[in-house]
């Protein structure tokens, strides 16, 4: 049975998509079966996985609206080795259309009900806003992974997100929890980075991953080549950090073997 994690932060530019793509590839490297769901209309996780969002005949939008079957949408992200439900700009209209359907909040959860036995991990890349797509992701997930850049407004944004998670718990998904907070773009030489990191630990305790993701040129370059950093430069600091995160996640989620 798959662990389903939504990777989200209502604040943009925190490394959300970078984390989704590179964590997926790193989990595959630990011999886990992984599905990545791109739920962001920008389609960055799709492109970063080496799949051209413009050439997709079907996307996750068609799946949510019941206009395509799973096997028509699902593609293999090579050379990383995980499966992908791609996204493109079609998703921008999906929210309005979803509101007209019965059980709008549960469309993604219904899709995943037939998939959870086929994977060890399902990762969902959410849009950087609270909309019907994000609600679908949170409703379908067991936990939330929150990438956080250690900067001045980080804690302010987290307050809003934790309120959203609590609301989802109280209304449609009582089993939802915060799986972990991931410190991204981490520069230990910066005093603000160290201060905010300490505040996160004080507020969230062991929910903060021990692994930190450093600022790394290779990590920033990899998406333009349509591949995770593990395939682009497996010896880079960014690659090693995401491999460490994958190992930490496997241990925390009880799938270590």
**What are the pLDDT digits (tens) for 85-103?**
999 999 988 878 888 888 8
Instruction: Write the DSSP symbol of residue 207.
Output: G
- Residues 34-45, buried b or exposed e (16+ Cβ, 10 A)? bbbbbbbbbbbb
Residues 105-127: tens digit of each pLDDT:
999 999 999 898 999 999 999 99
The model's confidence at residue 57, banded by pLDDT at 50, 70 and 90, is very high
Q: Residue 81: what pLDDT?
A: 97
Least confident of 69-73, 147-151, 216-220: 147-151
Average pLDDT on 63-72 reads 94
Q: Residue 155: what pLDDT?
A: 78
Q: Please give the mean pLDDT across all residues of the chain.
A: 93
The whole-angstrom separation of Cα 123 and Cα 56 is 20
Instruction: Write the DSSP symbol of residue 67.
Output: S
Q: Residue 99: what pLDDT?
A: 83
All structural domains of the chain: 3-252 (3.40.50.300)
Using the predicted structure, report yes or no on whether residue 257 has a pLDDT greater than 70: no
Using the predicted structure, report yes or no on whether residue 160 has a pLDDT greater than 90: no
Using the predicted structure, report yes or no on whether residue 256 has a pLDDT greater than 70: no
Predicted TM-score (pTM) of the model is 0.96
Using the predicted structure, report yes or no on whether residue 255 has a pLDDT greater than 70: no
Give yes or no for a contact between 48 and 226, defined as CB atoms under 8 angstroms apart: yes
Q: Which residues pair with 182 in a beta bridge?
A: 147
The whole-angstrom separation of Cα 199 and Cα 193 is 10
**Burial class for 33, CB neighbours closer than 10 Å (0-12, 13-18, 19+):** middle
Average pLDDT on 16-41 reads 97
Give yes or no for a contact between 37 and 123, defined as CB atoms under 8 angstroms apart: yes
- Angle of helix 237-252 relative to helix 16-29, nearest 10 degrees, comes to 70
Q: Which residues pair with 124 in a beta bridge?
A: 6, 37
Nearest to 158 by CA among 215, 210, 199: 199
Highest average pLDDT, of 30-44, 81-95, 158-172, comes from 30-44
The whole-angstrom separation of Cα 216 and Cα 218 is 6
Task: Say how many Å lie between the first and final Cα of the chain, rounded.
Answer: 15
Using the predicted structure, report yes or no on whether residue 254 has a pLDDT greater than 80: no
């Amino acid at each position: 049975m798959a662990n389903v994690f939504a990777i989200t932060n209502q604040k943009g530019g925190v490394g959300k998509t970078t984390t989704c793509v590179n964590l997926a590839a790193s989990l595959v490297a630990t011999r886990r079966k992984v599905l990545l769901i791109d739920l962001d209309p920008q389609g960055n996780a799709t492109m970063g996985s080496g799949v051209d969002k413009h050439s997709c005949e079907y996307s996750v939008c068609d799946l949510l609206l019941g206009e395509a079957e799973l096997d028509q949408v699902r593609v293999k992200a090579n050379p990383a080795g995980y499966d992908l439900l791609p996204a493109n700009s079609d998703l921008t209209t999906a929210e309005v259309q979803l509101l007209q359907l019965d059980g709008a909040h549960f469309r993604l959860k219904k899709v995943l009900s037939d998939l959870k036995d086929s994977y060890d991990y399902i990762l969902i890349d959410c849009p950087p806003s609270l909309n019907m797509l994000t609600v679908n992701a949170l409703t379908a997930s067991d936990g939330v992974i929150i990438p956080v850049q250690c900067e001045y407004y980080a804690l302010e944004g987290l307050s809003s997100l934790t309120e959203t998670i609590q609301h989802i718990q109280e209304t449609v998904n009582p089993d939802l929890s915060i799986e972990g907070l991931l410190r991204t773009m981490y520069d230990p030489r910066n005093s603000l980075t160290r201060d905010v990191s300490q505040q996160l630990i004080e507020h969230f305790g062991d929910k903060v991953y021990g692994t930190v993701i450093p600022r790394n040129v290779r990590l920033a370059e990899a998406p333009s080549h349509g591949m995770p950093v593990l395939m682009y430069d497996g010896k880079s600091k960014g690659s090693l950090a995401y491999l460490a995160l994958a190992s930490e996640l496997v241990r925390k989620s009880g799938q270590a073997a």
